[in-house]
A and B are shown apart, each in its own frame.
Chain A
Amino acid sequence: MTTTDSTAAVEAVFRIEFPRLVGGLTRRIGDVGLAEELAQDALVDALEQWPRDGTPRNPGAWLMTVAKRKAVDRFRRDRVLAAKYARIGVDPEATGTDEFDLHLDLDDDHIADDRLRLIFVSCHPVLSMPSRLALTLRLLGGLTTAEIARAYVQPEATIAQRIVRAKKTITDAGIPFEVPVGDERAARLGSVLEVVYLIFNEGYSATSGESWLRTDLCQEAVRLGRLLAALTEEEAEVHGLLALMEIQSSRLAARLGPNGEPVLLLDQDRRRWDPLLISRGLASLERAQALGDGTGIYTLQAAIAACHVRCRRAEDTDWAQIAALYETLAKAMPSPIVELNRAVAISMAFGPAAGLAHIDQLGETGTLDRYHLFHSVRGDLLGKLGRNAEAADEFELAATMTENDAERELCRQRAADARRALTTG
C-alpha cells in the first residue's frame, strides 16, 4: 500500500498549496471569497483524479491551472462579474484559456508577497476578532472549517458562517489585496500579530476542549509566525512575537503533571523544556532586539520568557531584570495584569514587602477587585510577611472568584493553611 495517492496525501498537498493558491488567485481576480471557492473546487477535482491517476509532479501548478479554468467557466456563466473581465483583460467570448493563462500566470516572484497580502486581508480590522482568527486559520493555515471548529470547540456551522460573512465583508468593504504602507502599516501589522498571538494563546491556555487539539493551535500559530518572519524580515516585532511563541512552546510538555494537572512555571521540570525551541526562540529574540530598540510589546514579553528559559534552575532566575522588563512593558502596554506580574517579580527580587507595596498601589485603582489572581498573589505576599489573618481573607476571596475547580481548591487550601498558622503561630 502506498500513502502517495490516498485522500490524506491529497489533503496534505492541498494544505501546503492553499495559501499560495488563494493568494495567487486573489491577486488576479481581486476577490478573496471567489478565490477561496475556486481553490476549493480545484481540491474537489484533485480528490477525484489524483487517487485514480496519481499525484501530478507539480501539484501546485496543477491546482492553479484547474482553478484558473474554473474561473474562466464562472466568468463565462456569470454576467454580473463582467467588470472583473475588464480588470484581468479577459474576453469572455474568446474560446480556450490561452489568453486567460497569460494574465493568470504563476509568477514565482509574487508568491511570497501574495501570502503576505493575504494575511493582511484576513487580519483586517474591518472584521470582528473571531472572524479574523477563523479566516486566518482557513486561508493561511489551510485548515478546513471542521478542523477550526474542533479546535475552538464550536459547531462547524458557526465557523462556516463566520468565514462566509468575513469574506463578504471584505468584498463589500472593497479591501484591497495589498500590503499596507506608511502609517497604516504599523497598525495593520499590529492586528496581524494580535491575531497570531490570540491563536497561540487559545492553544496555550487550554481553557476547554481536548488538550491535544489546543496544542495544535499553538503549532499553527508558530507556523504563521515563522511564515511572517520569513516574509517581513526587517520587522522587529514579528521576530519578537515568533521568539515569544517558540519560547512558550518549549515549555508545553512541562506544563502538565502526570495526572494532567497544571504545573506552575517555577515548579516545572526544566529538563522537559524543549532545547531546540528554546534556541530557536532565543535566536529570534536576538534578531528582534537587533532590528528594533527592544521596547516592542512582543519583544519585551519574549525577553521576559527568555530570562526563565536561560536558567537551568528556578532559583537562578534574574528577578531584578524581569521586574525591570515588566516596568518597560507596563509603559508600552499599560495593563493591570502586567502590573500584577511586575509586583510578583518585584517581590521575588526585592522581598515580599516591596511586592506588597506595589500590589497595594495597584489595588487602589480598583480594576483588579474581581480578579482572583490579584487576591491570591496578595494573599501569598501577606502570608510571607506573617500577616496570616489578612492572607486567609484574600485566599477565601480568590476562591469565590475563580471558575477553575483545581484553582478554587488550591485557594481554599491556602486559606485553611493561613488560618492554621494563625492559631498555632
Chain B
Amino acid sequence: MRFLGYTLGDETAPQPEMAPDLFEKMGKFMEEAYTAGVIVATGGIAPTAMGAKITLRDGEYTVVDGPFTEAKELIGGWALLECRDMAEAVEWSKRFIGVLGEGEVRVRPVFGAE
C-alpha cells in the first residue's frame, strides 16, 4: 500500500534554529528508510511565495501568485511510502518527525493500483 507523508506548518512563523547534527541524523534516517524499501519517491517543495493558486469558478480562471495566507501549508517535504498498513506508515512518520524534533506530519493512503 502506498501512503503520502508530508510536513505541515506555518511558513511565516520563525523557523527554529537547525540543530547542528540534524543534517547527519536526517541522512541516517533517510538511508534507513530507503534500505527498508519504504520510501519509493521523495521531494522538497518551495515556499508558497514561489507558487501560484489556480481556481476555476463559473467558467472563469483566476491565477493568484503566492505567497498564500492559509495558516498551515504543505511545507518542506513529501515522501511516497510503501508500507504494509497505516500503522507502519504512522510509525515511519513518527520516526521522521522524531529526527526533526518537532512539527507536524500528515500521512494519507494513496488510492492506487492494488
Binding site for B on A (CB under 8 A): 3-4, 6, 8-9, 11-13, 15-16, 57, 112, 212, 215-216, 219, 222-227, 230-231, 252-253, 272, 274, 276, 280
Give A219 to B114 CA distance when docked, in angstroms. Answer: 11
Q: Are A3 and B113 in contact (CB under 8 A)?
A: no
Q: Are A3 and B84 in contact (CB under 8 A)?
A: no
One of A4, A227, A274 near B37 (C-beta < 8 A)? A227
With contacts A215-B114, A274-B113 taken as known, whether A15 is within 8 angstroms of B35 at the C-beta atoms is no
Nearest B residue to A277 via CB reads B40
List B residues 15-47 near A (Cβ within 8 Å): 31, 34-37, 40-41
Give A112 to B36 CA distance when docked, in angstroms. Answer: 10
Is B85 among interface residues, defined by CB-CB distance under 8 A?
yes
What are 25 A-B contacts defined by CB distance under 8 Å?
A: A3-B86, A3-B90, A8-B85, A8-B87, A9-B90, A11-B87, A12-B84, A12-B85, A16-B92, A112-B35, A216-B84, A223-B82, A224-B37, A226-B35, A226-B37, A227-B35, A227-B37, A230-B31, A230-B34, A252-B113, A253-B112, A253-B113, A272-B113, A276-B40, A276-B41
Q: Please, which residues of chain B bring their CB within 8 A of the CB of A226?
A: 34-37
Measured CB to CB, the closest approach of chain B to A249, in angstroms, equals: 9
Give A253 to B111 CA distance when docked, in angstroms. Answer: 12
Is B88 among interface residues, defined by CB-CB distance under 8 A?
yes
Give A280 to B37 CA distance when docked, in angstroms. Answer: 12
Q: Are B88 and A15 in contact (CB under 8 A)?
A: yes
Nearest A residue to B95 via CB reads A16
- 0/1 per residue, B74-114, Cβ < 8 Å to A? 00000010101111101110100010000000000000111
Give A16 to B81 CA distance when docked, in angstroms. Answer: 14
Nearest A residue to B39 via CB reads A226
Q: Please, which residues of chain A bring their CB within 8 A of the CB of B40?
A: 276, 280
Q: Are A276 and B87 in contact (CB under 8 A)?
A: no
With contacts A212-B114, A219-B82, A252-B113 taken as known, whether A3 is within 8 angstroms of B87 at the C-beta atoms is yes
One of B36, B37, B87 near A12 (C-beta < 8 A)? B87
Nearest B residue to A57 via CB reads B98
Q: Please, which residues of chain B bring their CB within 8 A of the CB of A6?
A: 87
Q: Please, which residues of chain A bring their CB within 8 A of the CB of B80?
A: 276
Q: Are A231 and B36 in contact (CB under 8 A)?
A: no
Nearest B residue to A250 via CB reads B113
Q: Please, which residues of chain B bring their CB within 8 A of the CB of A4?
A: 90, 94
Give A226 to B98 CA distance when docked, in angstroms. Answer: 24
Give A8 to B87 CA distance when docked, in angstroms. Answer: 6
Q: Please, which residues of chain B bring their CB within 8 A of the CB of A219?
A: 82, 84
Q: Are B87 and A9 in contact (CB under 8 A)?
A: yes
Q: Are A253 and B35 in contact (CB under 8 A)?
A: no
One of B31, B37, B98 near A222 (C-beta < 8 A)? B37
Give A226 to B31 CA distance when docked, in angstroms. Answer: 12
Measured CB to CB, the closest approach of chain B to A291, in angstroms, equals: 18
Measured CB to CB, the closest approach of chain A to B84, in angstroms, equals: 7
Q: Are A12 and B113 in contact (CB under 8 A)?
A: no
